[in-house]
């Protein structure tokens, strides 16, 4: 098989074999991973749930991890991170995603409108350190808010599949019951397992936000447990505060899911640029990132210094940059950019 693949690669050099196969059938790939959408469910308002069948390269995930999904919108491929809600013991070759549709979310809106069975999407392997440890803790507290429910739901399902006997509390915050994805299933799980309790809160309706009293009420043993938290920034902040105050920060595991936001005023030059590979940080000056890197004593590759030769292309890990030629702002993470014609807007991380 490997020999055959090597021969194929020799014959198609310099193009990868997949560049030929995809013209025949997109799901027929040797190396690239893709997935076909097999199910679309829009029954929860503002949410779309997708069932995906990945190509055979899919090797599974650990409960809580995320993967990247790529779709083409107006000619451009956009990648976004989503946490599947599957149990990690799910033996079907299938992934289930639940996406909250953000009003400015390009990809989530696109999928909400256009996803249909048969559509092919790009898939990157699961990754991320937000997952259950191999030795399961004796007690588990899962806290989530809004669409942060997905990774912790995956953890819950995994524990259920394992016949986990310890205590689990699932504390979830939402705006209203109708907006809780997989609500019926959660209720079923809780009803069937005496060691698992489900606590849903609707602070906007009932005014019960998170605080230490609430924590003591739902999980009085929280100090002995491991807590997994994913949700919007205000929830994350208040949970972190309570844990920090009790000196339990290392028992709290978190996953951010802040959708990338574009700053309103690009003329504001503030923040700092981190050149992460070299471990150098520099205050933003409004100059091009190439000049800024050089000013900080680095020697990135460059050629024309005017945006035509692409010698200076490097990856923007995170943050927002402004194209000095078009004024356009961009903030998608992990994108290659031309350092000589991009300037930092706010905190930026460049991989040089």
Partner 1 sequence: MTILTETKDGPLVLSPDQVEEIGRTLDELRDRVVADLGERDREYIYSIIKAQRGFEIAGRGLMYLGFLPPFWLAGVAALSVSKILDNMEIGHNVMHGQYDWMREPNLNSRVFEWDNVCPGDQWKHSHNYMHHTYTNIHGRDRDIGYGVLRIDEGQDWHPYYLGNPLYAFLLMVFFEWGVMLHDLEADNIVKGKRSWSDLKPLLAGQLRKSGKQVLKDYVAFPLLTGPLFLSTLAGNASANLMRNLWAYSIIFCGHFPAGVQTFTEEETAEETRGEWYVRQMLGSANISGSPLFHIMSGNLSHQIEHHLFPDLPANRYPEIAPEVRALCEKFGLPYNTGPLGKQIGSVWAKIFQLALPPRALRSRFARFLPAALRKQPASGVIVMRQQSPTEAGV
Q: Which stretch binds ligand FES (CB under 6 A): 120-128, 156-164, 249-257, 303-311?
A: 303-311
Look-up of token digits 């893709």: 34
Residue 196 tokens, joined? 């698992």
Please state whether the peptide bond connecting residue 326 to the residue before it is cis, i.e. omega within 30 degrees of 0.
no
Report the C-alpha gap between 21 and 246 in whole angstroms.
57
Q: Between 72 and 306, whose beta carbon lies closer to ligand FES?
A: 306
Residue 33 tokens, joined? 């991973």
Show Cβ contacts of residue 38 under 8 Å, excluding neighbours closer than 6 positions: 51, 52, 53, 94, 117
Report the C-alpha gap between 247 and 224 in whole angstroms.
12
Residue 313 C-beta: closest distance to partner 1, Å = 6
340 binds, among partner 1, ligand FES, none (CB under 5 to 8 A by kind): ligand FES
**∠312-316-320 over CA atoms, to 5°?**
115
193 in helix, strand or coil?
Answer: coil
Q: Between 72 and 308, whose beta carbon lies closer to ligand FES?
A: 308
Which residue in the set 126, 340, 343, 350 belongs to the binding site for ligand FES (CB under 6 A)?
340
Query: With binding defined as CB under 6 A, does residue 312 bind ligand FES?
Result: yes
Binding track, positions 243-282, relative to ligand FES; x by CB under 6 A: ----------------------------------------
* Residue 108, burial from CB neighbour count under 10 angstroms (0-12, 13-18, 19+): buried
Q: Between 294 and 330, whose beta carbon lies closer to partner 1?
A: 330
Query: With binding defined as CB under 6 A, does residue 288 bind ligand FES?
Result: no
Binding track, positions 147-176, relative to ligand FES; x by CB under 6 A: ------------------------------
Q: Which stretch binds ligand FES (CB under 6 A): 85-93, 179-187, 207-215, 309-317?
A: 309-317
Residues that bind partner 1 (CB under 8 A): 7, 10-11, 13-16, 19-20, 23, 72, 74-79, 303-304, 306-311, 313, 325-326, 335-336, 338
Q: Between 15 and 116, whose beta carbon lies closer to partner 1?
A: 15
* Residue 70, burial from CB neighbour count under 10 angstroms (0-12, 13-18, 19+): middle
Query: With binding defined as CB under 6 A, does residue 336 bind ligand FES?
Result: no
Residue 310 C-beta: closest distance to ligand FES, Å = 5
* Residue 145, burial from CB neighbour count under 10 angstroms (0-12, 13-18, 19+): buried
Residue 306 C-beta: closest distance to ligand FES, Å = 6
8 in helix, strand or coil?
Answer: helix
Q: Which stretch binds ligand FES (CB under 6 A): 6-14, 26-34, 157-165, 298-306?
A: 298-306
* Residue 92, burial from CB neighbour count under 10 angstroms (0-12, 13-18, 19+): exposed
Report the C-alpha gap between 341 and 306 in whole angstroms.
7
User: Which parts of this chain interact with ligand FES (CB under 6 A)?
Assistant: 302-305, 307-312, 338, 340
């Amino acid at each position: 098989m490997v020999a055959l693949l090597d021969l194929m690669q020799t014959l198609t050099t310099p193009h990868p074999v997949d560049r030929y196969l995809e013209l025949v059938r997109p799901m027929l790939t040797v190396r690239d991973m893709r997935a076909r959408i097999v199910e679309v469910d829009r029954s929860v308002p503002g949410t779309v749930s997708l069932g995906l069948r990945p190509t055979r390269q899919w090797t599974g995930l650990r409960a809580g991890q995320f993967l990247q999904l790529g779709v083409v919108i107006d000619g451009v491929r956009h990648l976004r991170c989503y946490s599947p809600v599957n149990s990690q013991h799910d033996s079907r070759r299938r992934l289930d995603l639940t996406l909250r549709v953000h009003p400015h979310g390009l990809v989530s809106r696109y999928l909400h409108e256009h996803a249909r069975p048969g559509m092919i999407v790009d898939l990157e392997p699961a990754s991320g350190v937000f997952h259950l440890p191999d030795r399961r803790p004796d007690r588990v507290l899962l806290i989530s808010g809004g669409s942060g429910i997905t990774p912790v739901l995956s953890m819950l399902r995994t524990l259920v599949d394992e016949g986990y006997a310890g205590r689990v509390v699932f504390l979830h915050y939402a705006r209203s019951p109708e907006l809780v994805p997989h609500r019926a299933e959660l209720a079923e799980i809780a009803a069937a397992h005496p060691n698992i309790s489900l606590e849903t809160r609707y602070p906007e309706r009932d005014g019960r936000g998170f605080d230490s009293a609430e924590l003591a009420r739902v999980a009085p043993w929280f100090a002995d447990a491991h807590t997994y938290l994913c949700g919007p920034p205000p929830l994350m902040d208040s949970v972190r505060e309570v844990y920090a105050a009790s000196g339990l920060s290392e028992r709290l595991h978190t996953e951010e899911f802040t959708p990338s936001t574009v700053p309103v005023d690009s003329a504001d030059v503030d923040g700092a640029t981190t050149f992460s590979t070299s471990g150098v940080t520099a205050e933003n000056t409004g100059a091009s990132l190439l000049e800024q890197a050089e000013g900080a004593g680095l020697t990135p590759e460059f050629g024309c210094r005017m945006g035509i030769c692409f010698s200076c292309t490097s990856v923007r890990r995170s943050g927002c940059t402004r194209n000095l030629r078009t004024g356009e702002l961009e903030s998608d993470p992990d994108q290659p950019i031309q350092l000589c014609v991009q300037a930092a807007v706010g905190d930026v991380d460049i991989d040089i």
